[in-house]
Amino acid sequence: MATLTPCFLRIFAVLQLAACSFPEEPGPLISAPAEVVRRYPVFVGRAHRSYTRQEPLYIQTVLKVNRTLYIGARDDLYRVELDHVSGDEMFYSKKRTWESNKNDIRICRMKGKHEEECRNYIKVLLSHDGGLFVCGTNAFNPLCANYTRDTLELVGEPISGMARCPYDPKHANVALFAEGSLFTGTVTDFLAIDAVIYRSLGESPALRTIKHDSKWFREPYFVSAVEWGPHIYFFFREMAMEFNYLEKVMVSRVARVCKGDLGGSQRVLERQWTSFLKARLNCSIPGDSHFYFNLLQSTSPIIRMQGRDVILGVFSTPSNSIPGSAVCAFDMQQLARVFEGRFKEQKSPESIWTPVPDEQVPKPRPGGCAVQGSRFSSSNSLPDEVLNFIKTHPLMDEAVPLLGHRPWIVKTMVRYQLNTMVVDTEAGPHRNRTVVFLGSTRGTVLKFLITPSPENPYSNTNTFLEELEGYNPERCGDDSVQARQPLSLTLDKPSHTLLLAFHSCVVRVPVARCQLHSRCMKNCIASRDPYCGWTKGSTCSLLRPGTRLPFVQDVEYGNTSHLGDCDGEFVNLFGM
């Protein structure tokens, strides 16, 4: 694997792409041998061993609810019990087929879509009200329906999936329930031109973003949505409008809306958000000329770290740039503060974008949440001036700063991008270590230990603990580049495993492979793996949280200078 030497990048300086300041990127402490990884359990859509599947699965989305994994695929919904492990395969306990009807397929085909596209790809899977809320593309005529969680029985009649689910299975979308309403980020039309953040169902009126207004959205790709305080935050990337470059530039964004928004007046922003604001996310490496990772790929949920609410994002560079990915962290307080800052505007189509002077911002401040009991207790009583301002000024001037002023993890000059992640903030026997698992477009998993620096709690160091093959081409039945792209990574803490979803399978990988070092204390300690420890009986064991077993580990330093060398360590790898 190529490691970047700082001045290699001087070559690119002419291109204004990067500076000489990339951090060193050491390789992993351990590369898990393929013969170990190949035996991990796989879900390939079977009920039992003698069952033969006819078609590939085309998995779109997965949802873990307690000890059950729900899998949304093409025309099928599966339920897999995570506690029923049986050797090298995970079987489903329930399958529900939800196909498009003949008429929907006929119309889809008539509109020129391919047979493969005119199927029902399940793109939304949410746990809600004791049931499952499911939406599928339904042959380019999206539908949503409720299913029971245990038997996957349809409840009631399906409803339209328009603005809740994309038409095209290739489109990215997000969905979440908050305060009884469904919040979605998707496209609302067949041609995928009208992007929307939409609220529906529940008690509150349905609201959307303005239609076909490039100030609000320009070809967005939705990544995630989270609830925090009175707002829902949406993370996405889109074409920038604020640079006067000739070529298109993609940037990463966070947008937010107030959960209590009731829409504008009959004159301005009726049935549209009055609280929609967005800001750029800054994931960059400082240096002579700043190097940006502009493409958000995935985020963590909001996690609690050292007393603050933090969200992590994996970003990459565009394909025509230096190949690279980075993990950046954002403090939710700092992020929210950006939305209290200055607005950005372009005075005329030719002029550059500049901050709006404070005196030109109407009062009450546009984009805020209406407060009960105040003069404007509802968004639809806001003055036209305020509503008009927010309609034309959704973009904030400042970018959301990254915590610690540099990425937590950087991987450049490798032939893959990092595109999925999951974080364990309670790793190790004392539940006080942070481990980040990253999935790459090659189907590999990278595991990093994050250690806050004692001098400066805003920054930290990372240790590249392990790299392993996550995708299993023999079992998953497809070895194309596309098939290796992970869709999601899910952590199942009770079983100490990761669930890696791909289009054709779900692979279950243990968080650590301690037993690889079982014959030798030195290797066990040197692995610095917070999940592993040297225990009585001279073995390297997976340590359960709160374990009472005495154990030895040295996660900080991996200091083995007092330990003897290992012989026959390789015998161990194959003989387990």
Ligand X SMILES: *[C@@H]1O[C@H](CO)[C@@H](O)[C@H](O)[C@H]1NC(C)=O
CB of 337 to ligand X, least distance (A): 14
Considering the complex, state which of residue 432 and residue 482 has its C-beta at the smaller distance from ligand X.
432
Considering the complex, state which of residue 377 and residue 559 has its C-beta at the smaller distance from ligand X.
559
Which range, of 43-51, 75-83, 152-160, 503-511, touches ligand X by CB under 6 A?
152-160
Sheet holding 277-280, edge to edge: 221-228, 231-239, 250-258, 277-280
What φ, ψ does residue 236 adopt, rounded to 5°?
A: -160, 175
3-state helix, strand, coil in the chain (%, to 5): 15, 35, 50
Which range, of 284-292, 345-353, 412-420, 516-524, touches ligand X by CB under 6 A?
284-292
Which residue type occupies 318? P
Cβ count within 10 A of residue 17: 15
The Cα–Cα gap between 299 and 280 comes to: 15
Q: Is 562 in the site for ligand X (CB under 6 A)?
A: yes
CB of 46 to ligand X, least distance (A): 25
Considering only 145, 197, 525, 532, the residue that binds ligand X (CB under 6 A) is: 145
Nearest to 137, CA basis, from 147, 155, 123, 126: 123
Question: Tokens 């928004």, residue?
Answer: 261
Q: Is 494 in the site for ligand X (CB under 6 A)?
A: no
Q: What is the DSSP letter of 343?
A: B
Torsion angle, alpha carbons of 55, 60, 65, 69, to 10: 20
Q: Is 284 in the site for ligand X (CB under 6 A)?
A: yes
Q: Is 351 in the site for ligand X (CB under 6 A)?
A: no
Q: Is 127 in the site for ligand X (CB under 6 A)?
A: yes
Considering only 3, 5, 66, 306, the residue that binds ligand X (CB under 6 A) is: 66
Considering the complex, state which of residue 405 and residue 415 has its C-beta at the smaller distance from ligand X.
405
The Cα–Cα gap between 495 and 68 comes to: 12
Do 475 and 87 meet the contact criterion of CB atoms below 8 Å apart? no
Do 344 and 354 meet the contact criterion of CB atoms below 8 Å apart? yes
* Subset of residues 187 to 216 that bind ligand X, contact rule: CB under 6 A: 201
Q: Is 282 in the site for ligand X (CB under 6 A)?
A: yes
Instruction: Name beta bridge partners: 145.
Output: 134
Q: Is 461 in the site for ligand X (CB under 6 A)?
A: no
Considering only 561, 564, 574, 575, the residue that binds ligand X (CB under 6 A) is: 561
Helix or strand (DSSP H, E) at 532:
strand 532-535
Q: Is 24 in the site for ligand X (CB under 6 A)?
A: no
383: alpha, beta or left, given left = phi > 0 and alpha = psi -120 to 50? beta
Residue nearest to ligand X (CB): 156
Considering only 56, 401, 404, 477, the residue that binds ligand X (CB under 6 A) is: 401
Q: What is the DSSP letter of 275?
A: S
Which range, of 162-170, 282-290, 294-302, 378-386, touches ligand X by CB under 6 A?
282-290
Considering the complex, state which of residue 42 and residue 543 has its C-beta at the smaller distance from ligand X.
543
The Cα–Cα gap between 454 and 363 comes to: 44
CB of 377 to ligand X, least distance (A): 26
Give the tokens for residue 20.
Answer: 């000489």
Q: Is 323 in the site for ligand X (CB under 6 A)?
A: no
Helix or strand (DSSP H, E) at 522:
helix 521-526
* Subset of residues 287 to 306 that bind ligand X, contact rule: CB under 6 A: 290
CB of 201 to ligand X, least distance (A): 4
Q: Is 155 in the site for ligand X (CB under 6 A)?
A: yes
The Cα–Cα gap between 111 and 113 comes to: 6
Q: Is 355 in the site for ligand X (CB under 6 A)?
A: no
Considering only 46, 128, 342, 496, the residue that binds ligand X (CB under 6 A) is: 128
CB of 130 to ligand X, least distance (A): 8
* Subset of residues 224 to 263 that bind ligand X, contact rule: CB under 6 A: none
Considering only 286, 301, 355, 568, the residue that binds ligand X (CB under 6 A) is: 286
CB of 556 to ligand X, least distance (A): 8
Which range, of 92-100, 314-322, 350-358, 558-566, touches ligand X by CB under 6 A?
558-566
Helix or strand (DSSP H, E) at 76:
strand 76-81
CB of 127 to ligand X, least distance (A): 6
Helix, strand, or coil here: 392? Answer: helix
Cβ count within 10 A of residue 178: 15
Q: Is 559 in the site for ligand X (CB under 6 A)?
A: yes
Q: Alpha helix locations (H) across 78-223? A: 102-110
Q: Is 430 in the site for ligand X (CB under 6 A)?
A: yes
Q: Is 157 in the site for ligand X (CB under 6 A)?
A: yes
Q: Is 341 in the site for ligand X (CB under 6 A)?
A: no
Instruction: Name beta bridge partners: 437.
Output: 422, 447
User: What does the angle CA 367 – CA 162 – CA 390 come to, to the nearest 5 degrees?
Assistant: 15
* Subset of residues 405 to 424 that bind ligand X, contact rule: CB under 6 A: 405
Q: Is 129 in the site for ligand X (CB under 6 A)?
A: yes
Cβ count within 10 A of residue 227: 16
Residues that bind ligand X (CB under 6 A): 65-66, 127-129, 133, 145-146, 155-157, 159, 201, 282, 284, 286, 290, 399, 401, 405, 430, 432, 557, 559, 561-562
